[in-house]
Amino acid sequence: MNLSEVSKQLLDAKRKSNLTFMDIGQKLGHDEVWVAALFYGQASFPDEKECQKLLDLLNVNLTSEQMHELTHPPHKGATLESLPPRDPLLYRFHEILLQYGIPIKEVIHEKFGDGIMSAVDFTVKVDKDETIKEAPRVNITMSGKFLPYKRW
């Protein structure tokens, strides 16, 4: 995985502080997945004031150049080194797309028409369902704005 030095610092501080992404998200007013995206260089704060809240929480000091990395649009997707991903969990997402991508696309078109689901106006929620004790379930809810293709 390609991680910046800032990402490595944040992840190390998170580990040392014994905080989860959910803990940090609650303290900052952000979702845990968005916080994880920030730590892995896939999201950015709108300004230095909000960024400083995270740095204070984790007791991290950054240079102005490093702070810039957390407050400016990132190079999205840069952390993955290859496709398909080699990590087994990430590969399963690739496998899901290979197996169910076209069917999901067709169902979206049936319900909404010709268009796409935004990955910009988008949220994702990860929950743990333990109703079946011997086989806990991972529930992932993705919500993206529907963007119809323009006809001209």
Catalytic residue annotation: 92, 95, 118
- What distance in Å separates the CA atoms of residue 7 and residue 81, rounded to the nearest whole number? 16
Q: Name, in order, each residue with C-beta under 8 angstroms of 57's C-beta and a sequence gap of 6 or more.
A: 17, 19, 24, 27, 28
Tokens of 46: 């709108």
Whether residue 107 contacts residue 84, with contact meaning beta carbons closer than 8 Å, is answered with no
Whether residue 78 contacts residue 7, with contact meaning beta carbons closer than 8 Å, is answered with no
